[in-house]
Structure 1
Amino acid sequence: MDKPRLERPVVKTIDHLTPSLLGAMLGNPAVAGFEAESIGTGQVGEVYRLRVHYSDEKGNSPATMVLKIASRDPRSHASGISLGIYNIETRFYDELAPAVAAKTPCVPGCYYSAYDKDSGFFALLLEDVGADALVGNDLHGATLAQARLAMAELGRLHSALLSFAQQAENQWLVQEGQLNAAMFEELFRAFKERYRGRVTPEHLAICERWVQSFARFSDVLLQPGAMALLGVTHGDYRMDNILFPPAGDQAKVVDWQLVKVGPLAIDLAYFLGGCLDPAERRDWLHELLQTYLNALTAAGGQPLVTLEQLKRDLRMNAFYGVTMAIVSSILVRQTNRGDDMFITLLSRHCELVRDLDAFSVLPAAPATGAQDWTPLQPEPQDELPHPAQENKYWSESWYFDFVDESQGITGWVRLGLTPNLKGNWYTALVSRPGKPLLLLEDYVAPASSGSGHTLHLQAEHYEVTHEVASGEELKTYRIRFSGKAAAYDMPDRVLRGDRASSADENLMLDLTYYSVGMPYQYRISTRYEIPCAVSGIVTINGQETKLHNVPGQRDHSWAPRDFWALDWVWSSFHFGSQHYHATELRFFGGARMPIGYVQETGGEVRELEGVVCREVHDNVASDEGRLVSKMDITVTPRGGEAMRVSVEPVGHAPLRLVSNDGRVSLFDRAWGRVRLEDGRTGVGWFEWNQNVLDDEQV
């Protein structure tokens, strides 16, 4: 009996593959050696052709095969884990590919598949289609013969996979989109900045119109008669992912990393729009659609859709390629070929939109200036815990900070419920200038008990209660903590993973957070932030410090949160009765996304449309150099003028976050003084999530 998929060995790098390991993967102890040749240009994985030598008769084991493993590039590896594509592709070959093989040989045979959810590594041993196979090229596009073959294979693939869309055990194929309208708008903003000189005004106008309609397009899809034929889609069906052997009329389809349930027409639109010269596509479209339809009908034994319905579905999904070109170009690592490919694909997809009159299916365009930028607010019930999702990095987090500059004491606390990891997270820190940093960090914290309004954790060295009174949601929150905290004379010790510098100290917190502004709901995620006045008592080794209405911030989020998938700068700072929250998300592809607000106590909230952070790190050649020594933030309220804020970190309270798969984030946190250009001064907390990408620094 085969081992469960998650217990099979994986291959971290090609250097780790040995003849004995390869023999174990193949179930053939006669493997005596192999040579590996790198092939392909994948951005989130590495692909090798293996030429295998055997000590005796090899039986059914092949002389050559293809090995696919995770990328050794830390950013690409992090993206593969965070997006779930390593798990998806190995699961496709385990669970879906055999059914496809029964109807068409267009999917390479799989000799071995394994995925380790803890380490994030995987291994696929696949049939070698042959070194003389022609790999499709997105930039060159398809010939008519290649397009015919691609459409026929797509029809057979969709037929073979159709039944999986309705089976309960395949819920992993039903993936909720992570792209919402606010995120799409910000990614498009970054796209325009990067490619403005390379996109024609006509095509840029098509993109603008689609971005404006993105939020309301789901309503169009729910209208009577608008529902397209659903099934299991490849999700990335283009020439780069199709191989054409020199003999016969058979193509091989690879890279099943985006397979999911969806409208079958998105695969059609993605290939027909992106892989064909627009002039040739206009001439060939009817024939290619009929080729697909004939293959779909023949493989299924009965008609599933008419040609007219197929054309309607194609029109409804014509913008899929536009979306993919915009989003993918910003989120993946930028290369010259990648830039050429994305601009070419965008141009072709925009021409498909125009030729199909896909604008006719969009909701009416909003009037100029009619975009509603009224800040969003959470509901009172959002204060309470939410149902967990299956995503590995789904978490629910409650965060609190405070600054009492006059008494020289600051701190922050975070409770993170992480049901799909090894345990919950709990962190409590107190920083005092000239004194050791006090830190309690627990990444295997026990499950919480209590009602929805009360969260209680009882561990060996600490006890904590978080509570909000019924009727006080979003207004008042109390936290109580008592336990042993490690003492660090230098905060960089935490980043390096060193032991505490002195004995543990007794720490107690009894703090109440009173909201002094409007709770601000993020547009791109389920999260809100609230400026607060904080009162209570901090007790260190029996010595009390009383806080009275000092500035602070709290937030609450419930969503997938992979600290190792991107960098960011978060900040919350206060100038008397004026409160700022400014976050700059930093995607590995280079895009940056602003989030935040400025508001007066009891006054209106103004969203920020621009956040640009420029920080300087200590000039030290070690992890210690990741501590930020100063920073400038330029914030731009929506419709207002940019303002420059100077930040002087005073006390660092960082963490070193290590994922189950070994990735490291240096999570520098500091309280500091801030100064506006008009001379006003204030205080706040700041954090820099910095992924370690050089193995020598880990």
Structure 2
Amino acid sequence: MVPATVAELTPEWLTGALCADVPGAEVTSFDLGGGSDGTASRRAITVAYNEAGQAAGLPTALYSKMTPTLLNRLLVGVTGAAGMEALFYGRIRPHLDIGAPAGYHGAWDPRTCRSFVLTEDITATRGAVFGDATTIHVDRAGAESMVRELARYHGGLWEDPRLDHEWTDLVDTHTWQRTFNTRTRFDSGAMLGFRIAPDEIPRALHDRKAEVRKAFDRSLAINARGPKTLVHHDVHPGNWFRLPDGSLNLYDWQGIAKGNWAIDFSYAITAALEPEDRRAWEHDLLEQYLQLLGDAGGKPPSFEDAWLAYRQQTLHGLILWLYTVLVGRVQEIQSDAHVRILIRRTAQAVVDLETLDALDGAG
């Protein structure tokens, strides 16, 4: 049974979720803390155990993520994203040396599209700080830490056979997007974002709006050809947390897919950095990423090929936020200021990097 809301949680349910591997361990009580609502609903939970649970060192500071509302289930449940996060924390996360929260339980009901994931509460355990594009300024050191994190999970699962033969629910980036388009009219809805946020988009891109939808599909077809690794797929600033040492690490792994590294690198850099910083640092950051990718087990392409791949993948972030600004007309799932900053940054990157030209005629 997947609880519909945190109000349905009981010590007995938490015992089943957290104590299965420790004979005699039980959750004796729990307290609900603060949280937030967006594409999913999140709440902190503090758990107490009996002596067996305490002796085993079972986690006490947890963070829950669920899909209680109809809009949550449309955006996260119907698209299968909730099931992907359960897959990540239950089966993939243990194989990666990255900064993501530890995962303790993941449940998904495909009939109701309800989901419930329990992870480490990194604010309590590691002093993590969260924010979005309105509150997090990514300086050069922060950008370099992002590049390190991307390289570690990309390199760690580079052409890993489990992507195809064990974690069979994972789909490639092109299939993921086409399925999302079918279920939510995502790509056509995103085009309406040009009307809702016209001032955030350079005139040069407005003038070529008619090319964007086909170019986006072409970029994903290229990305899905590989070489394949795990991609987070939603690496905007609101999905990174900052640790006391200043480093940035990823959470919110509900959009995972398999595809080429460049979709994450391009989205992360163009969404996190102000255009003037991106222009100044992007060559160096890409060189660093390629070196780190090789160190982590990947096979980096030449810089020339990597630069082309980077340029070809900028539409992913832009389209996501053009769709989000449209959804915001129904229910605000991200702050409007955050959304508009990301549209401005990613749209400018599409123009600066001449993405439409880089995709013109590309197979």
Question: Which residue does 2:286 correspond to in 1?
Answer: 289
CA–CA separation in structure 2 for the residues paired with 1:253 and 1:174: 20
Whether the aligned pair in 1 keeps the contact of 2:133 and 2:338 (CA below 8 Å) is yes
CA–CA separation in structure 2 for the residues paired with 1:169 and 1:355: 40
Whichever residue aligns with residue 133 of structure 1, its letter is A
Question: Which residue does 2:252 correspond to in 1?
Answer: 255
Compute the displacement of 1:141 (Å): 4.1
Q: Say if 2:128 is the partner of 1:123.
A: no
| Superposed CA offset, 1:59-118 (max 9, x none) | 221231112222x22222233221111111111222211211xxx132211122222223
Q: CA RMSD in A?
A: 2.9
Question: Which residue does 2:336 correspond to in 1?
Answer: 339
Tell me: CA distance 1:99–1:200, structure 2 relative to 1, closer, same or farther (3 Å): same
| Superposed CA offset, 1:662-687 (max 9, x none) | xxxxxxxxxxxxxxxxxxxxxxxxxx
Secondary structure of 1:167's partner?
Answer: helix
Counterpart pick for 1:237 among 230, 235, 238: 235
Secondary structure of 1:134's partner?
Answer: coil
Counterpart pick for 1:211 among 189, 202, 213: 213
Matches of residues 344-359 of structure 1 in structure 2 within 5 Å? 344-359=341-356
CA–CA separation in structure 1 for the residues paired with 2:40 and 2:90: 18
Tell me: CA distance 1:160–1:219, structure 2 relative to 1, closer, same or farther (3 Å): closer
Q: Say if 2:41 is the partner of 1:46.
A: yes
Compute the displacement of 1:252 (Å): 3.5
Compute the displacement of 1:238 (Å): 1.9
Question: Which residue does 1:22 correspond to in 2?
Answer: 14
- Tell me the TM-score normalised to structure 2 length: 0.84
| Superposed CA offset, 1:338-374 (max 9, x none) | 332222212211222222222322337xxxxxxxxxx
Tell me: CA distance 1:290–1:31, structure 2 relative to 1, closer, same or farther (3 Å): same
| Superposed CA offset, 1:234-285 (max 9, x none) | 11012211112214x7543211111111221010111111110010111111
Tell me: CA distance 1:188–1:324, structure 2 relative to 1, closer, same or farther (3 Å): closer
CA–CA separation in structure 1 for the residues paired with 2:29 and 2:129: 28
Q: Say if 2:97 is the partner of 1:97.
A: no
Tell me: CA distance 1:105–1:197, structure 2 relative to 1, closer, same or farther (3 Å): closer
Secondary structure of 2:264's partner?
Answer: helix
- Tell me the TM-score normalised to structure 1 length: 0.45
Question: Which residue does 2:3 correspond to in 1?
Answer: 11
Where is the helix percentage greater, Structure 1 or Structure 2? Answer: 2
Q: Which has the larger radius of gyration?
A: 1
Q: Say if 2:270 is the partner of 1:273.
A: yes
Secondary structure of 1:281's partner?
Answer: helix
Compute the displacement of 1:142 (Å): 1.6
Secondary structure of 2:241's partner?
Answer: strand
Tell me: CA distance 1:331–1:169, structure 2 relative to 1, closer, same or farther (3 Å): farther
Q: Say if 2:341 is the partner of 1:312.
A: no
Whichever residue aligns with residue 40 of structure 2, its letter is G
CA–CA separation in structure 2 for the residues paired with 1:198 and 1:166: 37
Whether the aligned pair in 2 keeps the contact of 1:137 and 1:239 (CA below 8 Å) is yes
CA–CA separation in structure 2 for the residues paired with 1:121 and 1:53: 26
CA–CA separation in structure 1 for the residues paired with 2:11 and 2:46: 11
| Superposed CA offset, 1:613-648 (max 9, x none) | xxxxxxxxxxxxxxxxxxxxxxxxxxxxxxxxxxxx
**Corresponding residue pairs, total:** 343
Secondary structure of 1:65's partner?
Answer: strand
Question: Which residue does 2:103 correspond to in 1?
Answer: 110
CA–CA separation in structure 2 for the residues paired with 1:211 and 1:118: 32
Where is the strand percentage greater, Structure 1 or Structure 2? Answer: 1
Q: Say if 2:296 is the partner of 1:299.
A: yes
Question: Which residue does 1:593 correspond to in 2?
Answer: none
CA–CA separation in structure 2 for the residues paired with 1:200 and 1:299: 38
Q: Say if 2:80 is the partner of 1:88.
A: no
Q: Say if 2:321 is the partner of 1:325.
A: yes
Whichever residue aligns with residue 234 of structure 1, its letter is H
Matches of residues 629-640 of structure 1 in structure 2 within 5 Å? none
CA–CA separation in structure 2 for the residues paired with 1:30 and 1:219: 47
Deviates more, 1:157-166 or 1:286-295: 157-166
| Superposed CA offset, 1:434-481 (max 9, x none) | xxxxxxxxxxxxxxxxxxxxxxxxxxxxxxxxxxxxxxxxxxxxxxxx
Tell me: CA distance 1:337–1:109, structure 2 relative to 1, closer, same or farther (3 Å): closer
CA–CA separation in structure 2 for the residues paired with 1:52 and 1:263: 40
Whichever residue aligns with residue 204 of structure 1, its letter is H
Whether the aligned pair in 2 keeps the contact of 1:36 and 1:51 (CA below 8 Å) is yes
CA–CA separation in structure 2 for the residues paired with 1:330 and 1:219: 22
CA–CA separation in structure 2 for the residues paired with 1:219 and 1:54: 47
Compute the displacement of 1:188 (Å): 4.5
Whichever residue aligns with residue 233 of structure 1, its letter is V
Whether the aligned pair in 2 keeps the contact of 1:203 and 1:347 (CA below 8 Å) is no
CA–CA separation in structure 1 for the residues paired with 2:220 and 2:285: 30
Whichever residue aligns with residue 326 of structure 1, its letter is L
Whichever residue aligns with residue 154 of structure 2, its letter is H
Counterpart pick for 1:143 among 128, 139, 146: 139
Matches of residues 566-585 of structure 1 in structure 2 within 5 Å? none
Identify unmatched segments of 5+ residues in structure 1: 1-8, 365-698
Tell me: CA distance 1:63–1:220, structure 2 relative to 1, closer, same or farther (3 Å): closer
Tell me: CA distance 1:161–1:271, structure 2 relative to 1, closer, same or farther (3 Å): same
Whichever residue aligns with residue 13 of structure 1, its letter is T
CA–CA separation in structure 1 for the residues paired with 2:335 and 2:75: 17
Whether the aligned pair in 1 keeps the contact of 2:231 and 2:258 (CA below 8 Å) is yes
Compute the displacement of 1:199 (Å): 4.0
Secondary structure of 1:172's partner?
Answer: coil
Tell me: CA distance 1:203–1:142, structure 2 relative to 1, closer, same or farther (3 Å): farther
Compute the displacement of 1:212 (Å): 5.9
Whether the aligned pair in 1 keeps the contact of 2:147 and 2:288 (CA below 8 Å) is yes
| Superposed CA offset, 1:189-218 (max 9, x none) | 532333335544344235444236456x36
Whether the aligned pair in 1 keeps the contact of 2:4 and 2:114 (CA below 8 Å) is yes
Whether the aligned pair in 2 keeps the contact of 1:230 and 1:264 (CA below 8 Å) is yes
CA–CA separation in structure 2 for the residues paired with 1:93 and 1:184: 26
Secondary structure of 1:261's partner?
Answer: strand
Whether the aligned pair in 1 keeps the contact of 2:191 and 2:323 (CA below 8 Å) is no
